[in-house]
Amino acid sequence: MSQQKGKKIPDRAEKSGFFTARSAPSRAQGQHEADQDGGGDDTLPLHNSPDPGNLPVTQEFLRACLDEMSDKLLNKIQASVTALGKDIQELGERTAHVENRMGEYEEAHNDLTDHVKALEQKLTSAQLKLSDLEDRSRRQNLRIRGIPESITQADIPEFLTGFFKCLIPEIPTEMILLDRAHRVAKPKFLPAEAARDTLTHLHYYHVKEAILKAARNRTNLPAKYGQLQIYADLSAATLQRRREFKETTETLRDNKIPYRWGHPVRLIIQRNGTFTHVTTPEEGLRALKQWDLPVRKQHGRTTSPQRLRQDWKKAKK
């Protein structure tokens, strides 16, 4: 009994271990338990509700963050604007350089255009003088078209003398003196079966002029002379120059306005009792426009380079 009294009886609580402190599980044990129950923590995080006393601190923090962000954005914008301004400045300098160059090119082009026109005028004047000299050496020649090829070279002088005598019977036969007469190459525009032209040089100039005048008003010629045509012998340059007046001469013929050619290359138009001298195709077209005459379709021709309008001016530095 005394032994029983002296022996300490363990408390039920201690025996059951209900209030006994348990050691914290190890990390491995916790991991093992987590693997056993599918992992994860069953505990929910605790969210502390904001304390009204901390609101001013939060606003200051946000304001500081916004200020810092705005400073960073401002720095970036300023850097971008600075780079863009530099690019614009460089582009402006390059544009000014291009404008200056364009102005220089326009001035140079206009100067060259003026020089080209001056040279064209000088060249045209020189060509007219040369063609006039050549035409003067041909001034006593006549070109006859339509003489049959059956007439031999030896018979051409006699044939032409008889033809001219029919045109100008009032002039003595001994005055119709031919220095030479021969056939020449056929123009390209004539058909292949056409006879070659015949070129003759008359000794007396006034006889040659009388023949040309009579050929314009010839009537009642013998049949063997009826198809013959007489032309003045002109240089190729003069003929080409006269072709440039084609629009003017065609319009004059359509309206039955008489005209004749002067030297070196000049169109003399007789209208309403007055004479108009035309030296260039442009002058002829202007005269027709002034007279309200319809002009045929104009043929294309090369024109001189034109001056440029100075849209670009040198940029001021």
What is the pLDDT at residue 269? 94
Q: Quote the Cα angle for 81-83-85, to 5°.
A: 65
Hey, which CATH number is domain 244-296, 3.40.50.720, 3.10.20.30, 3.40.30.10, 3.30.250.20?
Answer: 3.30.250.20
User: What average pLDDT does the structure give for the chain?
Assistant: 81
Beta bridge partners of 142: 200, 232
Indicate the CATH number for domain 139-233.
3.30.70.1820
Segment 33-39 shows an average pLDDT of 49
Q: What counts of helices (H) and strands (E) characterise the chain?
A: 9, 7
Contact (CB, 8 A) for 197 and 145: yes
Q: Is the pLDDT of residue 34 over 60?
A: no
Q: Is the pLDDT of residue 201 over 70?
A: yes
Least confident range from 51-60, 82-91, 244-253, 301-310: namely 51-60
Q: Render pLDDT for 259-300 as a digit per residue (tens, 0 to 9).
A: 998 877 889 999 988 999 998 898 999 999 999 988 876 655
Contact (CB, 8 A) for 265 and 242: yes
pLDDT band at 5 (very low <50, low <70, confident <90, very high): very low
Q: How far is CA 58 from CA 50, 64, 71, in A?
A: 10, 10, 20
Least confident range from 13-17, 24-28, 163-167, 312-316: namely 13-17
Backbone φ and ψ of 218, nearest 5°: -70, 145
What is the pLDDT at residue 144? 95
Q: How far is CA 183 from CA 178, 233, 242, 247, 276, in A?
A: 14, 13, 24, 32, 37
Tokens of 235: 């240089």
